[in-house]
Amino acid sequence: MKGRQRGAALLMAMAIMAVAAVAATTMLVALSTWSRQAGLVTDHVQAEELVVAGGDWTRAMLFDDRRTSGDLDHDGEPWALRLPPIPFENGELAGRIEDQQGLFNLNNMVRNGKLDVTQYTRFQRLLSILGLPAELADTLADWIDADGTAQPAGGAEDAYYRALGHPYLTANRPLVDLDELAMVRGFDAGVRAQLKPFVTALPATTALNVNTAPAEVLAAVVDGLDLDSARALVARRNGVFYRNNADFLSQLGNDATVPGHDIRVGSDYFLVTLRVTYGKARARGQMLLARTNPTRWPDVVWRKVR
C-alpha cells in the first residue's frame, strides 16, 4: 500500500514539474515576445524623433538660404538637391526639399470665398494640357468656395455628397493638403497621381516661381504660351536661372503675357519629405514649411509622421 502511495506521489510530483516547465516556457516565450515588441516600439519612437530633428535641420537650411540668397530660389541651390542616405549609429536618414511655389496652387482658385475666374481658367488649361476632364475644375471650385451653388458645368455641392453611401458635406474652405482631394468628386487615385507633380495646396494666395515651375504649369499660367515654348523656357533656365520678373518676361514671345504680381523668382513654401531607419523600425515624415518671416526659421504649417 505504501509503495503504491509513494508511486502515486512520484507521478503527481512529475506531473506538477511538467506543468511548471510548460508554464515557465510559456512565460519565457511571452517575455521574449514582449521584449522584442518593446524594442520595436522604442526604435520606432526614436525614428519618429529623428524625423522631427531632420525637419528642424531643413528649417535651419532654408533660413540660411534666405539670409544668403535673398528672394531668389532655383533648382541649383543646395536645398534643392536630393539628400542621399546619411548613415548614423544604428540607422540612416534620407530626404528631400521641394519648392511648392513652382506648382499650381489649387487654393488660388477661390479668393475670399468666391471663385477667381482667372485662376479657374488657368486650372482648366492645366487639366487640358494633362489630358484630364475640364469638369474637375468645377467640382474642386465647389469644394472650396463658400457658397452652396453648384458650378453649371458639372459642379458638385452638398446634395451630391449627401447622396453617397457614406455621406458627408463639402469643405467650403481652402484645401489643407492634397490628400483631401480624395474626398472631391472625380479626383480618383489615377487623377490624383497625374496631378501630383504639378499642383499643391498652400494656405495663402501665391505667385508662381518661374525658376522652378514645370513647363506644364508655366503654359497653364502664362496666357498665350504653348507647351513647346514653355519647355524652351525651362531648358533655358537650366543654364541660367531668372534673376527677376523682367528677366523672365523678356523671354516671352509677343503673344504671351502674365501679370507681374502672378509670378516671382523666389518661394516661401517648401515641402520636406524625410525617411529614417533606426534599428528594425522605419519612420516617414512630411512637413509643409512657410518661410514668410525672414527673421526666423520657417514656420511648420503642418507635419505628418508615421
Taking only the tens place, the pLDDT of each residue in 146-162 is 999 999 878 999 999 99
**What does the block give as the cell for 110?**
477661390
Average pLDDT over residues 19-28: 38
Taking only the tens place, the pLDDT of each residue in 213-267 is 999 999 999 999 999 999 999 999 987 899 999 999 999 988 999 999 999 999 9
Beta-bridge partners for 300: 289
- With 50 as the cut, is the pLDDT of residue 9 above it? no
Question: CA dist 137 to 5, 144, 193, 291, Å?
Answer: 91, 11, 16, 29
Q: Is the dihedral of CA 251, 252, 257, 263 positive or negative?
A: negative
Average pLDDT over residues 193-216: 98
Residue scoring higher pLDDT (52 or 120) = 120
What is the total residue count of the chain? 306
Distance from the Cα of residue 185 to its chain's centroid:
20
Q: What is the C-alpha to C-alpha distance for residues 48 and 55, in angstroms, rounded to an integer?
A: 11
- With 90 as the cut, is the pLDDT of residue 13 above it? no
What is the predicted pLDDT for the residue at 89?
A: 80
Average pLDDT over residues 197-225: 98
Cβ atoms of residues 137 and 184 within 8 Å: no
User: Among candidates 101, 80, 71, 104, which has minimal Cα distance to 266?
Assistant: 71
Q: What is the C-alpha to C-alpha distance for residues 141 and 146, in angstroms, rounded to an integer?
A: 9
Q: What is the C-alpha to C-alpha distance for residues 69 and 65, in angstroms, rounded to an integer?
A: 6
Residue 41 pLDDT class (50, 70, 90 cuts): low
DSSP state of 170: -
Q: What is the C-alpha to C-alpha distance for residues 174 and 204, in angstroms, rounded to an integer?
A: 9
What is the predicted pLDDT for the residue at 21?
A: 40
**What does the block give as the cell for 210?**
518661374
What is the predicted pLDDT for the residue at 153?
A: 79
Residue 142 pLDDT class (50, 70, 90 cuts): very high
- With 70 as the cut, is the pLDDT of residue 99 above it? yes
What is the predicted pLDDT for the residue at 29?
A: 37
Mean pLDDT over each residue of the chain, to the nearest integer: 86
The beta strands (E) that lie in the chain are given as 83-88, 91-99, 104-105, 110-111, 114-115, 199-200, 208-209, 263-264, 269-278, 281-290, 299-305
Average pLDDT over residues 88-99: 88
Average pLDDT over residues 98-105: 98
Residue 93 pLDDT class (50, 70, 90 cuts): confident
pTM of the predicted model as reported, rounded to 2 decimal places: 0.84
**What does the block give as the cell for 106?**
489649387
Average pLDDT over residues 287-294: 95
Domains of the chain: 107-198 (1.10.40.60)
